[in-house]
Amino acid sequence: MDDSLFLLGIVALTSVLAYFAARRFAGLQAAGLAAASARLLECAGLALGFYLLDLAAGFAAVLVLRKLTGAFIGLYVNTDGTLPVLATLQAIVFQWWRAEGGRGGA
């Protein structure tokens, strides 16, 4: 069986189970799912934006550091696989901050 179909099938199955469990045991309304999906898309978009920003900043920083220090730093450092994860964390914090209304204090 194709790996992609298998994985997508598993995720679809657990999503359906979670949907029914959430409605039955947590009393969530189906209508809220559309809003939640929009929040997910917003988060994904913010993560993409932060990733591109991090990539551009990293690229510029490497070129500046090369000039200033004379030491060689590979541009490939910016394409490390953990950078998208860090960008997603930035996106989540920004999204929650915005949801809180940008308020300070406890």
Could you tell me the two tokens for 88?
């997603």
9 vs 21 by CB, closer to other proteins: 9
Q: How far is CA 19 from CA 22, 35, 43, 58, in A?
A: 5, 14, 21, 40
15 vs 20 by CB, closer to other proteins: 15
Residue with tokens 């406890």: 106
Nearest distance from C-beta of residue 23 to other proteins, angstroms: 22
Give me the residues that bind other proteins (CB under 8 A), please. Answer: 2-4, 7-8, 38-49, 59, 72, 74-76, 79, 81, 98-101, 103
DSSP state of 26: S
24 vs 103 by CB, closer to other proteins: 103
